[in-house]
Every structure is written in structure tokens, then in C-alpha cells.
A and B are shown apart, each in its own frame.
Chain A
Amino acid sequence: MIGSLVVVPVVAPLATAAVLLAFARRRALRRVAGLVVSGVVLVAAVCLLILVRDGSVLVVRIGGWAPVVAIGFAADTFTALMLCAAALVVLVCLASAAATGQDGHPFFVPLALVLAAGANGALLTVDLFNLFVLIEVMLVPSYVLLALRGEARDMRASRVYVATNLLASTLLLTGVGLLYGVSGTVQLAELVGAGRESSPAALAGGLVLVALALKSAVVPVHAWLPRSYSDAPPVVVALFSGLLTKVGLYALIRVFAVVYGGAADYLWIIGVVALVSMVVGVLGAVGEHSMRRILSFHMVSQIGYVLLGLALFTEASLTAAIFYLVQYILVKAALFLSVAAVHADRGTDRLASLGGLAATRPILAMSFAGAALSLAGLPPFSGFLAKFLLIRAAVDSGAWLAVAVALGVSLLTLTSMLKIWGSVFWGPPGPAEPVALGEGARTWATASALTLAVVTLLLGLAAQQLLVLSGEAATGLTDPVEHPRVER
């Protein structure tokens, strides 16, 4: 029974998507089924989190095959935390898509569900080859979602996106193949410390890490992200921002922590990449003039913060990185859903065409402001505590350069958020006319953004629980062998 709980986040959306393909003309059915199954996944994820909150690991081998050939899933605290955040984002994004009518295409809900299934599977999997397969399961629907409207500029964005991710997948597969060649296994549990003990394994693992970095849009391989996200439908971008790059980042943390075990020889590389990502991302946002483009550049910058926690590789810094990653998924999705609500209201997200929305849409303005302040790291939102924990960990490790960069980049992030606030929500009304859209649709679009903004506020005010869980997750990362593994 508990064993099947681990499989639910993958199987339930996948099966529902397959069934929904048969109902191309039943829009309401698709909508309800999508919301219900996302809710079920969220409940399953929360149950898993409760089961593994003490740091135990639930392992399931599908079909009872021998460990080498079985498809294995395992849930530890880190996985369960990520699953909860991802499931919440999927649920809220589907609600927002239903509200703004973006789920009109018969394939929208099924594709979003397959995407979620792939992402959940990639979070749960125990071997690197299945990681590759499940990341593909996640990416293929994202290729189609990006081009679903069939417009020429979507095709252009889609080409960049598909080509980049295909290259990353090819690299990932090569890395996995080489790792199998030098170590004879792709099971993460058997690869513990392999990168520290043998240089060929370190090299092969390095290729895996480069591929995952490309998927998470880490500088210097970040340029595809703003180019492909800035034109996509806003709800789709919110979904992507919550799942795609974050799964890459999760896998990056997991693989580095397990295979290299924090080998000090390689930490500086991650440190440099983290700092450069933070700075380049935030500076890239300065010259941009649409909400989606500004926010996509900030994604690059925030990924740097999470990687900084990995680069310091202390118990405190890993706790901070995990806390940061989990709350950041929700914050970013809240921001993109605010963009989706603005876009649904005015038909554009260009700063020059908007203005004065705080007067007409006060609740939307509030949800954007909450998420934006959280992104910049101001109290009482969750982003403040995340940044505080990270900076304290950096101070403890004596990484003063990292402290200075992290503080400076927060300040620039705040400036950037104020720029959006000033031109979209304050000032005289912009030239963009309100779109003819029902009052109910507007309310629901705002409500989905507000939900996530409230969650980030609650995570900031009552952070103790998440902090304990993040600490447990960090312990699970640093000594992956020590933890009790419960076979079902």
C-alpha cells in the first residue's frame, strides 16, 4: 500500500493523460480530470513527505525484478519536498490555465500531465539511465506545449529550445554510458563516492553534470532560457519554471552530492559557476522590457543562489540550498502566474504598454508584490529566510566574496522588481486596453497567483517545519548510505 504511494505521482498523471486523449471534444471533462489528478498527486506527495520526514527512504522496485533491471523509485525527504512543491505548482497552473482559457487545445491538459509525470519520475528515480528517460518524458510534452499555438514566433522559440535540450540530452546519455563503462552500474546507490575514488568516473560524471547544468540554464549555458521562455504562453512558462529547470537543478545537486560526495577538488568550479550565474542573470534582466523576459533572466540568477549552497557543501549550506530551491519553485511560479493574470487582463506583458494596474486590480498587484519581495529576499517572505540561511552558511565557511555577491545581487533583484512594479502597477494607465474576459476568469487567474503568494508568505512566517525538513534532506544527501532504506 505504502509502496504504491511512491508510484502514484508518476503513474496517475500518465494514465489520466492517456485516457484524456480519447476525449478530444470534452473540454470540461479534461479540465476537471486534470485538476483532480493533480490534487491526488499533491495529496500523495504530502503523505510521502509525512512518511519520510524522519529521514528514512522508501524504495520501490516495480514488478519485483532484480535490482539491476528493475525500474526503481525511491522517496527521501529531499525528493518528497520537491514533489510537494512541484505538485502544488502543477495544480495551480492548471487552475490558472482553466481560468484564462489557455487549456482550450485538446492536447493541453494531457501534455501538462505527462510533463508532470516525467518531472515527478525524474525526482523519484534511483538510477541515472531512468533519469535520462524520465527527463525525456518531461521534455517531449514541453516541446509540444511551446509550439501548441502554431504561430511562427513560437516555432522559432521552440527550435532554440528543442535544439538546446536535445544537445543536453545527448550529452547526458553519453555521460551515463561512459559512467556505466567505467563503473559497471548506473544505480545512484552504488555510485556513492565513485567520482572521488576514480578519475575516469569523475570525468564521466562531469559530463552528466554539464548536461544537467545545460538543462538548468546555468551560466555560461543559459542563453536558451530567456529566448525560449519569453514568447511562450504565460501559464506554460509558469509550469515550465516550476518543473523543468528545477528538476535539472535537483538532479545536479543529487548527482554531485552522491557521486562526488562533496570532493573538495571540484567545489570551486561549482562556486565560480554559481557566482557568475547570479551576476550575469541579474544584469541580463536590466535591459529587458517585458515581464516574462525580466523574470526569465532572474531564473538564471536565482539558480546561482541554489548552486552556491551546493558549492559550499556544508550541512548548513545544503540545508539552505534545499530550503531555497523548494520555496523558490513556488515564488517563481507565483510571479509567472501574476504575469499570466496581467496577460489575460491586458493581452500583453510589455512594460511600455502597461500601467496603473494597482488601481484596477489591487489583489493581483498584492500577489505580485508579495512574490517579488520574496524573490528579492525581503522579510517576512520565505525568500528572506532562504537568503539569510545561505548567507549565514557562506559567512561560516568564510566565503566573503560569495556573501558580497549574494547581497549585491539581491539588491539588483529588488531594483528589477521595482522596475516592473513601477511600470505595470503604478503610474498612469498604459495604452493596452482590457481584454474582453469574464469577471470570473479574471478572479480565478488572480486567485491562482495569490494562492502561491500566500504560501510563500506562510513559509516565511512559519518556516520552522520546512527548515527541519530541509535539514533532514541535507543529511540524506551528505551520507546517502547511512539512512534506513525501507523496501516495499
Chain B
Amino acid sequence: MSAAALLVGLLAAAGTFMLLRGTQLRLIIGFILLTHAVNVVLLSAGGLRWRAPAFAGGGPGRADPLPQAFALTAIVITFGITIYLLGLLVRTGRDAAGGGADPTDDDRADTRPGDGREQDEL
């Protein structure tokens, strides 16, 4: 149990450190580490010592399936959002390389509210 606690601490510390580094890729790596820490928390919430199958022929010491389902769901969600963040990173990287927009110019390209109005067939 204490090994799990140490692992959570280590992952969370490393994740926080990466988050605070300030660049986009490190931010993403930081989030990946942090969510790993959370997954370990979720698993240990169900008790790590019970390892017998949850449903088939359970008996004493059977594992709690609920936290495992939580962790599985969380992994899927985090995976999707990580991919999205990486996509944003690639996109902004490309825009920055091509000159980019002036961050102080609030109204740039803002004068096209009907943007793409007629591009689809009706």
C-alpha cells in the first residue's frame, strides 16, 4: 500500500513539475504523468490486496471491480484529450512558423460573421 502511495507522490510531483515548466509539450507530458497518478489512486481506492477474480468464482479476497472500471474509463478519456492537446500543439506550431497573428489585434478576421455561410449546399 505504501508503495502505491509513494508511486502516486512521485508521479504527481513529476507531473506538477512538468506542468509548471511553461512550454506546451511539457504541459502535455505533465498531464500524462498527473493522470497516471490519479489512476493509481483510483486502483488503490479499491484495495490492492484483493486480487481474486471479481465475478467468476469470486470467493473471499475478490477484487473490487468498480475502481477498475473507473480507471479504465479515466484512461480512455485522458487518452482522447491528450491526442487533442497534441493536435492543438501541432496546429499552433505550424501557425507560429507561418508568421502567426498578432495577439493584441482582437478584431483580426473578426469581420466575417457570415464565415462559410454559403459553402454548403442547402
- Chain A, 83-108, CB within 8 A of any chain B CB: 100-102, 104-106
B109: nearest residue on chain A (CB-CB)?
A: A151
Residues of B within 8 A of A150 (CB): 91
A150 to B103 alpha-carbon distance, docked (Å) = 15
Q: Given contacts A28-B122, A101-B116, A343-B113, are A174 and B103 in contact (CB under 8 A)?
A: no
Interface membership of A444, Cβ < 8 A: no
Question: Could you tell me if A181 and B44 are in contact, using CB atoms closer than 8 angstroms?
Answer: yes
A348 to chain B, nearest CB (A): 5
The docked-state distance in angstroms from the alpha carbon of A133 to that of B19 is 23
Q: Is the CB of B92 within 8 A of A170?
A: no
Q: Is the CB of B92 within 8 A of A155?
A: yes
Select one of A25, A69, A147, A174 contacting B121, CB under 8 A. Answer: A25
Smallest distance from the beta carbon of A148 to chain B beta carbons, Å? 10
CA of A156 to CA of B42 in the docked complex: distance in angstroms?
Answer: 32
Contacts of A141-167 to chain B: CB distance below 8 A: 143-144, 147, 149-153, 155-156, 158-159, 162-163, 166-167
Q: How far is the CA of A144 from the CA of B83 in the complex (A)?
A: 12
Closest B residue to A137 by beta carbon equals B77
Closest chain-A Cβ to B42's Cβ sits at a distance in Å of 4
Bound-state CA distance A162–B121 (Å) is 33
A-facing mask of B106-122, CB < 8 A → 1, else 0? 11111111111101111
Nearest A residue to B67 via CB reads A180
Residue of A140, A155, A180, A343 near B80 (CB, 8 A) is A140
Task: Find out whether the CB atom of B31 lies under 8 angstroms from the CB atom of A170.
Answer: yes
Closest Cβ–Cβ distance, residue B82 to chain A (whole Å): 9
Q: Which of B2-56 contact A (CB under 8 A)?
A: 19, 24, 27, 31, 34-35, 37-38, 41-42, 44-46
Tell me if B41 and A104 are in contact (CB < 8 A).
no
Q: Which residues of B contact A129 (CB under 8 A)?
A: 70, 73
> Looking at the complex, which one of A104, A173, A353 makes contact with B117 (CB distance below 8 Å)?
A104
Closest residue of chain A to B42 (Cβ to Cβ) is: A177
Do the beta carbons of B92 and A174 come within 8 Å of each other?
no
Q: Is the CB of A152 within 8 A of B114?
A: no
Taking CB atoms, residues of chain B closer than 8 Å to A159 are: 24, 88, 92
Chain A 12-37 near chain B by CB (<8 Å), digits 1 or 0 = 00000000000001111000000000
A435 B113 Cβ-Cβ under 8 A: yes
Bound form: Cα–Cα A110–B80 in Å: 18
B101 to chain A, nearest CB (A): 4
Q: Complex formed: what's the CA distance from A143 to B77 in Å?
A: 13
Q: Which residues of B contact A26 (CB under 8 A)?
A: 120-121
Question: B38 contacts A177, CB within 8 Å?
Answer: yes
Of B44, B77, B110, B111, the contact of A133 (CB 8 Å cutoff): B77
State the CA gap A414–B41 with chains docked (Å): 47
Is A151 touching B122 in the complex (CB atoms < 8 A)? no
**CA of A163 to CA of B115, assembled, Å:** 28
Q: In this complex, what residue of B is CB-closest to A104?
A: B116
**A-B interface contact total, Cβ < 8 Å:** 132
SS class of chain A's interface: helix, strand, loop or mixed?
Answer: helix
| Chain A residues touching B, range | 35 or more
**In the bound complex, how far is the Cα of B101 from the Cα of A149, in angstroms?**
14
B100 beta carbon closer than 8 Å to chain A: yes
Q: How far is the CB of B41 from chain A (nearest CB, A)?
A: 5
A435: chain B residues at CB < 8 Å are 111, 113-114
The 8 Å CB contact of A162, one of B85, B112, B122, is B85
Nearest CB of chain B from residue A138's CB, rounded to whole Å = 12
A388-B114 Cα distance, complex, nearest whole Å: 41
A177 contacts B101, C-beta separation under 8 Å:
no
Question: Are A177 and B77 in contact, with the CB atoms below 8 A?
Answer: no
Contact present for B45 and A133 (CB under 8 Å): no
Q: CA–CA, A7 to B27, complex, Å?
A: 37
What CA separation (Å) do A162 and B44 show in the bound complex? 28
Are A147 and B106 in contact, with the CB atoms below 8 A? Answer: no
Flag if B45 contacts A177 (CB, 8 Å).
Answer: yes
| Also in contact, A177 and B70, with CB within 8 A (given A162-B84, A347-B111) | yes
Say yes or no for A263: interface residue by CB 8 A criterion: no
The answer to the question of A231 belonging to the interface, with a C-beta cut-off of 8 Å to chain B, is yes
Tell whether A101 pairs with B113 under 8 Å between CB atoms, given A153-B101, A162-B85, A350-B106.
yes
Nearest to A181 among chain B residues (CB) is B45
Q: Is A173 a contact of B74 with CB atoms below 8 Å?
A: yes
Question: Quick check: A350 and B107 within 8 Å, CB to CB?
Answer: yes
Interfacial chain B residues near A344, Cβ < 8 Å: 113-114
Q: Residue B110 contacts which of A69, A155, A158, A348 (CB distance < 8 angstroms)?
A: A348
B66 with A69: CB separation less than 8 A: yes
A180 touches B88 (CB 8 A): no
Sample (28) of A-B pairs whose CB atoms are under 8 Å apart? A25-B121, A27-B120, A104-B120, A129-B70, A140-B80, A147-B91, A150-B91, A155-B88, A155-B92, A159-B24, A162-B81, A162-B84, A163-B85, A166-B81, A169-B77, A170-B38, A174-B38, A177-B38, A177-B41, A177-B67, A178-B45, A180-B46, A347-B110, A347-B111, A348-B107, A348-B110, A353-B107, A441-B114
Residues of B participating in the A interface, judged by any CB pair closer than 8 Å: 19, 24, 27, 31, 34-35, 37-38, 41-42, 44-46, 66-67, 70, 73-74, 77, 80-81, 84-85, 88, 91-92, 95-96, 100-101, 103, 106-117, 119-122
